Structure 1
């Protein structure tokens, strides 16, 4: 028989961390302004990546 151990879970709040905003106000403002979180890859060379 399989034993399942239950661990307590505590939720202390809800927040947003995304490319278009950190925090609910910045995120919501970006959504309303239709900002995109997608852009060119700049942190690594992409010339050898398949497209």
Structure 2
């Protein structure tokens, strides 16, 4: 039986995962703060900018 992801982080993104930001840049996730309502931090793999 698989666990259902929580409503705050439905994709279960963890540090080290690559995801896409709202500008469609691939982003390396560098921090996840689920206490603050899931705040993801990372760096763009295209130009090094924060998402």
User: Which TM bucket (shorter chain)?
Assistant: under 0.3
Say which structure is richer in helix.
1
Say which structure is richer in strand.
2
State the structure with more CA Rg.
1
Structure number with the bigger relative contact order (C-alpha 8 A, sep ≥ 6) is 2
Taking structure 2 as the reference length, what is the TM-score of the superposition?
0.23
